[in-house]
Each structure stands twice: as C-alpha cells, then as structure tokens.
Structure 1
Amino acid sequence: MQSFFRAWAEETYRVCWSLFKVMLPVVVVVKLLDNWGFSEVLAEFLAPLMNAVGLPESMSLVWAATMLSNIYAGMLVYVQLGEPLTQAQISILGALMLIAHGLPVEVAIARQAGVSVIFSLLLRIVGALAFAWLLRLMYSVWPAEQAAELLWQPEIQMATSWWGWAKEQVISFTVIFAIVALLLAVLRLLRILGVEALMAWCLSPVLRILGIARSAMTITITGITLGMAFGGGILIDEARQGRVEPKDVFSAIMMLSLLHSLIEDTLLILLLGADFNAIFWGRLLFSLLLVAVLTRLFNYSAVGRFCYRDVRLTGAN
C-alpha cells in the first residue's frame, strides 16, 4: 500500500509539473494579448470566414474570444452582442467553438506530447471550419430556421485587475491538481482490478479503426470525457516514460484535439439553443472519421514526421 501511494504521488507530481510549466506562461501571454485588444484583431481576420459557414460576420468576435480563452468567454461575448440566430446558425457557431477553443493552452499541451504547433492549429481551426461547413450543408437540406432559444444567460464575471485574475488562476490550477491526482489514483486502481484491460478489449474494434493502441485507450477516454488538460497531461507523462508508442500518442492527441470534454462543453453549447444531434452525434462522427483517415494518411506519408516528434528521444522543452 505504501508503494502504491509513493508511486501515485510521484506520478501526480510529474504530470502536474508537465502541465503547469506549460500552462502558466501561456495564460499570462493570453492575458496580455487580451489587454492589448488582440481578440478584436483576430475577429477582423476571421470575419470573412463566417459567411462561408452561414453566420453573420459579427460572430467572428465570439469565435475569436473562444479560441483565445474558452467556451465560457465566447458565451459571454455572444450574449453581450444580443444578435438573434436560428437554431441552425447557433449549432454551426457551436461547432466552431467546440472544436477550436482554448488554443494557446491546449496546443501547448499537445506540443509537449510531441505534436507540432502548426499541425495542431491547422487540425483545430480547419477541422472546426470543415465541421461547420458540413453542418451548413445539412441544414440546407433539413432546415432549422426557428429562433435559437437561450436557455441560460451566463453570469460570467471576468476579473479586470491583475490581482483578481491571479486569484482566479490559483483556484483553477488547484482544481486541476486535485482532479489530476484523483484521476491517476482511479487509473491505477483500474489497472490493478483488471477493469482497464476489460475496457480495452471491448473497445478494441473502434481503437483499431482510429489507429490507437490499447495502452492509450483509458487516457484517451479520460480526455474525451473530462478535457484536454487532464487526458493530455497524463498522456505527456505516459509518452515520456515510453509506456505509449509515439504513433499512438499522435493518434490520441488528434482525437483529443477534436473531441474532448464531451459532456461539459456539449451542455454549454446546448444552453445557447443548439441542436443536440448536430453538436453531439455530429461532432462525434466527424471526429472519428477524420482521425481514422488521418492516422492512415500519415502512416503512408513522410509528412507525418514533420507533425510529430518522439518525446522519448528528444524530450520536451
């Protein structure tokens, strides 16, 4: 029992240190960019793309805030704009927000696992636009022109002072530490009880299609359900320890980039009045198909080595 707790504490320290040393400088930079009005600059760049997916150009500000910060920030901007959208439009906007949000932090986490920054950004942004465009095509056949019903107006108070912002970050990092510690304890228990092996056997057909080995299965499921920071953080440690093969790390990170925090994020977008089938089942199917294609494409292409590096050999700086 003592060895269990010692190993658990050591692993928790490694995972959290890997996460926090990436996240802390990134959130500071994002705060500075936000103070300098970078969201508005990004929104101007994104505005022409909104027409391509059937949205008003003003929604570019919502997506820009979401990409730089998180879905909560995007929701706040959307409510403040007060521009009515149809259910089809809010579902398309939700698709953009679900796949491409929190990019500075989440792309940095993917980089620590060995995935290049350029590839991660292209996967998230182009993937989001592709999914949104497919939804637009779907709604051109099966229209959903009724007004989107805002089920909850988020009362999000963004700290304006550096001191208030710092307190928010301390709370956020403390919560992440507690959840990571709990997750690692649960994962160790699942291994001891043999539950992890049983889950891997049940899901092996799907994993084979996605090109993800059993060794990365539990971590991938953790990230899909809880979020990129948790699944990605544990995956970084597993990759560095050599317990997951590089190609499986790459496949798992691609999956987590497109499909993570499936429950919480979906519920948030539903509160804006989106169509559940589109943003849940549609996103799930889109992510599975895209990852299945990409894993096979990179297996047969030299391009793959420019998208991923083996952190077991090179380390991560």
Structure 2
Amino acid sequence: MSILELAARKTRDTLRIYWELVRIIVPVTVLTEAMARAGIIEAMSPALAPVMQLFGLPPEFALVWMTGMLVGIWGAVPVIFTLVPPAELTVADITVISALLLFAHALPIEQKIIQKAGPGFVLTTALRIAGGMIYALILHHIFAATGWLSQPLNPAWIPMAAASDWLGFFVGLVEALIAMFLILLFLAWGLELLKWLGIMDRIIRMIAPLLRLAGIRAEAAQFTMVGLLLGISYGGGLLIREARSGSLSPRQIFISCVFMGFAHAVIEDTLVVMAIGADAVSVLVGRVIFAVAATALIAWFVRALPDSVFFAWAFNRPDRQTAVGAVNG
C-alpha cells in the first residue's frame, strides 16, 4: 500500500471515529451548558458542600467540583476565584481541588466515549470519582500533617469567566470541534508514520514497564499513551476503533480505560492547574504514581472475575466477538 493510499484510509477511519465523537460531544455539551445557565448545577452543588470538609476545602468549592464533573476543567477553573479570593487560599487548597478536578471532569462526555469502547458507564465513572477522592484525601492529610504547601496562594493566572451569550458558546464549540478533528487526523497519520519508522515500538518499549505495572499489555499501550498525554477524547477515540476490530481483549480495554480515567491529558490539564497555583509534583508525578498503583490493583481484581460477572457489571459485550481466548486477555 502506497503512502497516499495509507493516508486516505487513515483519513476515512478518522472521519468515522470523529463522527462518533461529535454525536456524543455536541448534545451533551449543549445540555450541560443549558443546565449551568438555568442554575441547575448551582442548585445541586450544596449537597456536596459537607463533602468539602473531608478535604479541608471551603464549602464554596462544592460548586467548583460539581461544575468540573459535569462541564470540565475549563468550566470549573473560572469559578474558583469568583467564589473564594486567592488571598484566602493556600497552595495546598488549590492543589487538592485540582486533584479532584483532574481525576473526574467532563464526565458526561468522556465517560460516554469510554462507554463506546465497551466499559460500563456507571462503574468507570464511579472509579474515577472514587480515585480522585482517595488521592485528594491522601494529599490533604499529607499537607495537614507536614505543613507542606501551606504558603499563601500566588497564582500565575486568574482566569476570567467564559462568554455569557449563546453565540459565544457555539462559536467556541465549533472551534473546539475543528481543533479536535485536526488533532485526531494528525494523531492517525502521526501514529502510522511512527509505526512505519519503527519509532512507536521504541516509545512503547520505554513506557512498557510503567504500563505493565498497571496491568496494561503492549497491544493496548499506544492508545493508553495517547490518552495519557492528550486526553480521553483522543485516546478513547482511537480505542473505539480497535475495540470494534476485535484486536484487543475486553479486559485489556477495560483496564486501559480505567488507567486513562485516572491519568489523562497530563500535558494540557496539568499546565492549566499549575497556572492557577497547584503544585506540579502532586498533580503530575503523584497522580501518575497513584494511577499506576490503583489500576494495577483493579486489573488484578478484574482478571479474577468470571466472564459472566465481568460482562454483566463491567463491560458491554462487543458485537464482534473474536476468539474465546481474547476474552480473558
């Protein structure tokens, strides 16, 4: 197959995956924005206020957490300093709320993408929220016991709220969708080029020991790596294609999605929370270490489950099942 034929095939594949993502992202984003503008998210957030005490955070941050889980990090970050002035916060405070947001954000969109690859929506969503809460609790108790990061917050960036009119929202949505298509296309071509040059094998070999610790095998490594670096929308989009081809076992897909739920978009998301003052070691290094350890524990448990339990509770049985042996991968 020539390079032009390969590029054309990859473009067609990307368009099919992109259309799947658009069908998820557009309606969910519009619905969530409508809920936010109608005050529904704000009305729901007081129920979470007592939970903030567990993490040593101001009760107002319940709205930040709720907004992050439903809308995303970019929707939550502008809310932080409108609720609590920076002078009243410490670096530890912003690091803990950042940990909660990094693990569980944009859940309606990202979890719908993960569901398309096979893992159950409810279970993987619960794992992301629980993982974020556990990691935030660990950070809070370390900071409280040691006094680490107790200095007053001095953020490099104090974001302004997004545009208030619907026109601005839809313009931003279209721009985001265009950027997503270009990134997906670049990824599809770039990954194929890296494979052809043999570079992908070298990269996978470099990170394979880390992924093996998390229970992720080589055949799922490249998609997990894309999700880790760029986010679930991209890694999950590529994973959907492989899941439908039957080349990956359901258990490997599930484990990869769990890992991506804990640690994804470590470039963009980490830079965002660092800009508002979060500690880099906690939100990057510590997060990845926690993701590896937690995923390894979950992978051990998942492999011990009988097929009947796994497909009933954790995974939507694929339409195109390959060999029986692939199920237990």
Q: Give the TM interval when normalised to the shorter protein.
A: over 0.9
Where do 1:59-70 residues align within 5 Å?
59-70=61-72
Partner in structure 1 of residue 192 of structure 2: 188
Partner in structure 2 of residue 153 of structure 1: 158
Amino acid at match of 1:34: A
Q: CA deviation at 1:36?
A: 2.4
Is the Cα–Cα contact under 8 Å of residues 228 and 257 in structure 1 kept in the other structure?
yes
Cα-to-partner distance string for 1:197-256 (whole Å, 9 max, x where unaligned): 222333333232222121211111111111111111111111111222221111111111
Amino acid at match of 2:17: V
Is the Cα–Cα contact under 8 Å of residues 239 and 312 in structure 1 kept in the other structure?
no
Partner in structure 2 of residue 122 of structure 1: 126
- Flag the 1:282–1:42 CA change in 2: closer, same or farther, 3 A: farther
Partner in structure 2 of residue 141 of structure 1: 145
Amino acid at match of 2:52: M
Partner in structure 2 of residue 46 of structure 1: 48
Q: CA deviation at 1:311?
A: 2.8
Selected match of 1:132 from 126, 131, 136: 136
Amino acid at match of 2:314: C
Partner in structure 2 of residue 309 of structure 1: 316
Q: CA deviation at 1:312?
A: 4.3
Is the Cα–Cα contact under 8 Å of residues 228 and 265 in structure 2 kept in the other structure?
yes
Q: CA deviation at 1:165?
A: 2.0
- Flag the 1:196–1:307 CA change in 2: closer, same or farther, 3 A: same
Is the Cα–Cα contact under 8 Å of residues 55 and 136 in structure 2 kept in the other structure?
yes
Selected match of 2:253 from 241, 245, 249: 249
- Flag the 1:85–1:182 CA change in 2: closer, same or farther, 3 A: same
Is the Cα–Cα contact under 8 Å of residues 96 and 139 in structure 2 kept in the other structure?
yes
Where do 1:162-311 residues align within 5 Å?
163-302=167-306, 303-305=309-311, 306-311=313-318
- Counterpart Cα distance in 1 of 2:4 and 2:283: 45
Selected match of 1:109 from 98, 101, 113: 113
Partner in structure 1 of residue 326 of structure 2: none
SS of residue paired to 2:16: helix
Poorly superposed stretches of 4+, deviation over 6 Å: none
Cα-to-partner distance string for 1:54-108 (whole Å, 9 max, x where unaligned): 1111111111111111212211111211332111111111101111111110111
Partner in structure 1 of residue 102 of structure 2: 98
- Counterpart Cα distance in 1 of 2:65 and 2:139: 17
- Counterpart Cα distance in 2 of 1:260 and 1:180: 16
Is the Cα–Cα contact under 8 Å of residues 242 and 312 in structure 1 kept in the other structure?
no
Is the Cα–Cα contact under 8 Å of residues 68 and 101 in structure 1 kept in the other structure?
yes
- Counterpart Cα distance in 1 of 2:252 and 2:163: 38
Is the Cα–Cα contact under 8 Å of residues 241 and 312 in structure 1 kept in the other structure?
no
- Flag the 1:233–1:295 CA change in 2: closer, same or farther, 3 A: same
TM-score by length of 2: 0.90
Amino acid at match of 2:72: N
119-128 or 27-36, which deviates more: 27-36
Amino acid at match of 1:123: L
Q: CA deviation at 1:173?
A: 0.6
Structure 2: gaps of 5 or more residues: 322-329
Amino acid at match of 1:263: I
Q: CA deviation at 1:284?
A: 1.0
Q: CA deviation at 1:160?
A: 2.1
- Counterpart Cα distance in 1 of 2:143 and 2:230: 30
Cα-to-partner distance string for 1:160-180 (whole Å, 9 max, x where unaligned): 22x332222111111100100
- Counterpart Cα distance in 1 of 2:202 and 2:34: 47
104-113 or 148-157, which deviates more: 148-157
CA RMSD of aligned residues (A): 1.6
Amino acid at match of 2:133: L
Q: CA deviation at 1:50?
A: 0.4
- Counterpart Cα distance in 1 of 2:60 and 2:54: 13
